[in-house]
Structure 1
Amino acid sequence: MKGAIMARALRPKDRETTAARLLDSSVRNSYDPLLDIDWDAPIAADKGFLPPEKVSLYGTELWDRLTPEQRVELAKHEIGSVASVGLWTEIVLMQLLARYAEGLDPRSPHAQYALTEIGDETRHSIMFGKALTRFGVPAYGPPRLVRRLSPLFKAVVGGAAMFASVLVVEEMTDRLQRSTVDDESIQPLIRMVNRIHVIEEARHVRYAREELVRELLTVRRPMLELHRTVTAVVAVSVANILIHPRVYAAVGIDPRQGRAAALANPHHRATRRWMAEKIVDFLTEVGMIGGPSKLLWRRAGLIG
């Protein structure tokens, strides 16, 4: 299995070497959103909130009916929905990381970086919360069922499935955020929020990717299928909850009609697949996508 081959190439000391480098990078390239973002800057009247082609209804009949102002408003609510789901997943991740760090030697750079990442995620959550407030959009977050099932997920997930699930969430949203950082048609505040998140999240991705590869050294086939299934369920869930149906009500569209149109929209399905592309390639390479659970990825349109 490729995952095992990759893991064998990582010597035990590599874990601490990587962590030490990430700690050094954290010192040199970290931000305080309360100080580094001008939250009082005016909202630019001539800027958007997402590239139009990334809005879920782009290219549909419903999109054609919207005025330019309504299209901007829908994009604002959609990026707000993505941010509020991202905020919620950051808090879940902090709980998982705290539990993971509890079993580590606190003297090790590896443990200290896990704690550093918790600090990063705390700042990110505050940053997303302030952005939602600044743009005047609801904290949509995940649906009630996902919130109710969250304690069960947090209680049982660990090992390879935990790191793979973290990567799914972080890398899917990261790809969307990267597409806005250098786009001058996007609101400056969104670009700055996304720039901070992308820079700091790159360290988290490196940490999780290497740990996932190491975890796969000890995973036997029956447990591998379980880890694959958990990861697939998380990926499908995340893809489905990023855009809350209530965003469509902000522009006078019935939420059920809007969601149905989005899910049937080839442009939106292509966007979902594009957001998942990099993490799908990596998880396939290390053996975390395969077996019966691969069908879940395919049915969700995240792989071809």
Structure 2
Amino acid sequence: MTSVDTHDQDAQPGRQEVARRLLDSSETLSYDPVTEVDWETPLDPAYHGASPEWSTLYGTSYWDELTPEQQRELTRHEAASVASTGIWFEMILQQMVLRDFYAKDPTDPAFQWALTEIADECRHSIMFARGAAKLNAPAYRPRRLAVELGRFFKTTATGEAAYAAILVAEEVLDVMQRDWMRDERVVPFVRTINNIHVVEESRHMKFAREETKERLKGAGRLRRQYNGLVVAIASYFIVTSMVNRDVYANAGLDSKRAQREAKANQHYKSMLRSSCSGLMEFLDSAGLLTTASMKVYQRANLI
């Protein structure tokens, strides 16, 4: 028996209107990183790669012992690691969205917006890759377990699980990068990259929120419990993969001590929690912030 996609038949006017507004916004305000970012000026080591307050070591005794040069070098490697993690998840995102809209109505504004978002993410991934290289950092990749779980997730996640996980990754990066793009201590080309990403990702977050709410219409308690846990587990691996443990050795630090102090750094944990306050309110309102999922978010320092 051929199944009927009731999602396409329900609540279409509102969903189509949101998609049309996003398409209009994309036409009005989008950037080309090739021309907008200053790729030619050599890296100035007098700048940070990210706001120091977002460093995993900021607020620790080890941070206080570092010279200003070492602090800047560390933040440049951490920024490159966050960019590399962003590429990893953007590739997951693109595949989930493309799979979701496979063989659907191409005249639907939501279909067209989905392709627009995928095009945005392709440009963002190239932008992040060039930015990480300009920071003189190596390719930072998530741990093998995270990579394989991501491979499974992108292949199987559907509906609200896919879109809520997309939202988590985008929300955490959004708050972080809003700080970086305004911070004059951060190297100018990174500030430009962050500004482009913040502007364009705001539309992606709007779409992810709308899709999450749409897919949850009529969902029962068991489904919300299950997908709430799936999203929380995905969030855990996204957030814990942002800063690769190799950044410390590559920045010339004592890696074991740095990892130990970063793991216990209450300041960094507080920054993560504050960046996710709005996200947690949304997940709670959607019925996805369950008792089981809250334990996972607590372990990831998101709540």
Range of TM-score over shorter length: over 0.9
Asked whether 1:37 is paired with 2:26, we answer: no
Give the AA of the match of 1:93.
L
Q: Which residue of 1 aligns with 2:5?
A: none
Shift in Å at residue 45 of structure 1?
4.2
2:131 matched to which residue of 1?
131
Q: Deviations over 1:215-268 (max 9, x none)?
A: 111321111111000111011112211111000102333434322211101111
**How far apart, CA to CA, are the structure 2 residues paired with 1:250 and 1:278?**
34
Letter in 1 for 2:185: S
Q: 2:100 corresponds to which letter in structure 1?
A: Y
- Aligned equivalent of 1:278: 278
CA contact (8 A) 1:52 1:75 kept: yes
CA shift digits 1:168-211 (9 cap, x unpaired): 00110111000122222211101100010011101100111011
> Residue 82 of structure 1 aligns with which residue?
82
Trace 1:46-195 onto structure 2 (pairs within 5 A): 46-195=46-195
Cα shift at 1:134? 1.0
CA contact (8 A) 1:73 1:250 kept: no
Per the TM alignment, residue 272 of structure 1 is displaced from its structure 2 partner at its CA by 1.6
The residue type paired with residue 278 of structure 1 is: G
Unaligned runs of 5+ in 2: 1-9
* 1:207 aligned residue: 207
Amino acid aligned to 1:126: I
Q: Deviations over 1:126-165 (max 9, x none)?
A: 0001101111101202111111222211222111111110
With a CA cutoff of 8 Å and minimum separation of 6, indicate the structure with the bigger relative contact order: 1
TM-score by length of 1: 0.93
Corresponding residue number in structure 1 for 2:6 = none
Runs of 4+ that moved beyond 4 A: none
User: Aligned-pair distance for 1:47?
Assistant: 2.4
Partners of 1:245 and 1:256 within 8 A in 2: no
AA partner of residue 295 (structure 1): K
Contact kept? 2:228, 2:288, Cα under 8 Å: yes
Q: Secondary structure at the match of 2:276?
A: helix
Letter of the 2:216 partner, please give it.
L
Could you tell me which residue of structure 2 aligns to residue 235 of structure 1? 235
Q: Is the 8 A contact 2:77 2:251 kept in 1?
A: no
Same amino acid, percent of matched pairs: 39
CA distance in 2, matches of 1:68, 1:59: 14
**What is the DSSP-based 3-state SS (H/G/I as helix, E as strand, rest coil) of the residue aligned with 1:292?**
helix
Amino acid of the structure 1 residue aligned with 2:13: K
